[in-house]
Amino acid sequence: MIQQVGNKNIRKDLDHKSDQSFLIKFYKENGCFPQFKQVLIETRTDCNNHCPFCPHAFNKKELGIMDWNTYCKIIDELCAIGYNGRVALMLSNEPLLEDRLVDMIRYAKNKSQRLFMDITTNGRLLTVEMVDQLFANGLDNINVNDYRGDREKNPYKLSGKLQEIYEAYNNNPKITFQYRSLNEQLPNYGGNIPQEESNEDLGFCNFPFRKLVFSYKGDILLCCSDFMYATNFGNIHERSIIECWNDSSFDKIRLSLLEGKRISLCSKCNDYQDYNTF
């Protein structure tokens, strides 16, 4: 059974046991967990939209902008350790508000062609010319979430300039459009959205086993759901990425998740990462 909740295909029938067994075995043999497979960087904190299911609707977040030096240090260190996976230039914010976006992509791609540069955007500021420019400077993927209040009436309508972009790029797999609704029911984002508690078994969350998350200050956070910076496993200017990733307090949260328990930020969270999300 696949239950569609927002943009998430939550596979209730998916057996995560083999992944958990692999992680437990790996930890026993190596004294640490496998290296991350994806990196998310909060280059700034704000958004130009007002989705009712997003933590921005419930929390006042000061504007934060990542220093250029912090961004470069992250990219340099990722390249130095041979990282070759996805680098998403956003967290819980709108990446097209970042006026250094093209420079950031170009910097990363000049350092290593092996990085897969990616953004997920609400598309409100996107134009055909901007998509051309982002791809010309090395962006590998754009995921556009077109949120509409009238989605139920218009399942495949695209907003503003998105239809023009869709037509210009309709056979190009580097850009995808999600027909999203502002009426979606989504999880509580690490308790950052008030929701009634439920006794439902939430299942295993594999987020902190595969994604490395940087705040705009260069701190390493538990996951995307840490909207208000409740966790911190070290800063890029003070410790190596690998040291932060293998921090004992980070492992403690991971080991709890593997035991089916939720501690720290996870104790407030009703989300879990499924294996289909990119």
Ligand X SMILES: C[S@@+](CC[C@H](N)C(=O)[O-])C[C@H]1O[C@@H](n2cnc3c(N)ncnc32)[C@H](O)[C@@H]1O
Smallest separation, CB 55 to ligand SF4 (Å): 7
Smallest separation, CB 163 to ligand SF4 (Å): 19
Smallest separation, CB 271 to ligand X (Å): 6
The nearer residue to ligand X, 115 or 224, going by C-beta atoms, is 224
Question: CA nearest 62: which of 42, 82, 76, 79?
Answer: 42
The nearer residue to ligand X, 187 or 218, going by C-beta atoms, is 187
Number of residues that bind ligand SF4 (CB under 6 A): 23
Smallest separation, CB 110 to ligand X (Å): 25
What does 222 interact with, of ligand SF4, ligand X, none (CB < 5 to 8 A by kind)? ligand SF4
Question: CA nearest 39: which of 186, 184, 159, 212?
Answer: 212
The nearer residue to ligand X, 108 or 119, going by C-beta atoms, is 119
The nearer residue to ligand SF4, 233 or 272, going by C-beta atoms, is 272
Query: Is residue 142 close enough to count as binding ligand SF4 by CB under 6 A?
Result: no
Query: Is residue 188 close enough to count as binding ligand SF4 by CB under 6 A?
Result: no
Smallest separation, CB 113 to ligand X (Å): 25
Cα 36 from Cα 76, distance rounded (Å) = 16
The nearer residue to ligand X, 92 or 206, going by C-beta atoms, is 92
Smallest separation, CB 92 to ligand SF4 (Å): 6
Among residues 38, 43, 177, 208, which is the contact residue for ligand SF4, using CB under 6 A? 208
* Residues in region 71-100 near ligand SF4 by CB under 6 A: 92-94
The nearer residue to ligand SF4, 223 or 244, going by C-beta atoms, is 223
Among residues 56, 86, 109, 211, which is the contact residue for ligand SF4, using CB under 6 A? 56
Query: Is residue 222 close enough to count as binding ligand SF4 by CB under 6 A?
Result: yes
For β-strands 38-41 and 2-5, DSSP reports them as: unpaired
Question: CA nearest 126: which of 89, 159, 163, 96?
Answer: 96
Query: Is residue 218 close enough to count as binding ligand SF4 by CB under 6 A?
Result: no
Smallest separation, CB 120 to ligand SF4 (Å): 8
Listing DSSP states for the chain in one string gives -EEEETTEEEETT---HHHHHHHHHHHHHHSSPPPPSEEEE-SB---S---TTSGGGT------B--HHHHHHHHHHHHHTT--SEEES-SSS-GGG-TTHHHHHHHHHHH-TTSEEEEEE--TT--HHHHHHHHHTT--EEEEEEEETTTTT-TT---TTHHHHHHHTTT-TTEEEEEEETT-----TTTTS-------------HHHHEEEE-TTSBEES-TT-TT------BTTTS-HHHHHT-HHHHHHHHHHHTT---GGGGG------SS--
Query: What are the residues binding ligand X (CB under 6 A)?
Result: 7, 47, 53-54, 90, 92, 94, 120-122, 145, 186-187, 189, 193, 271
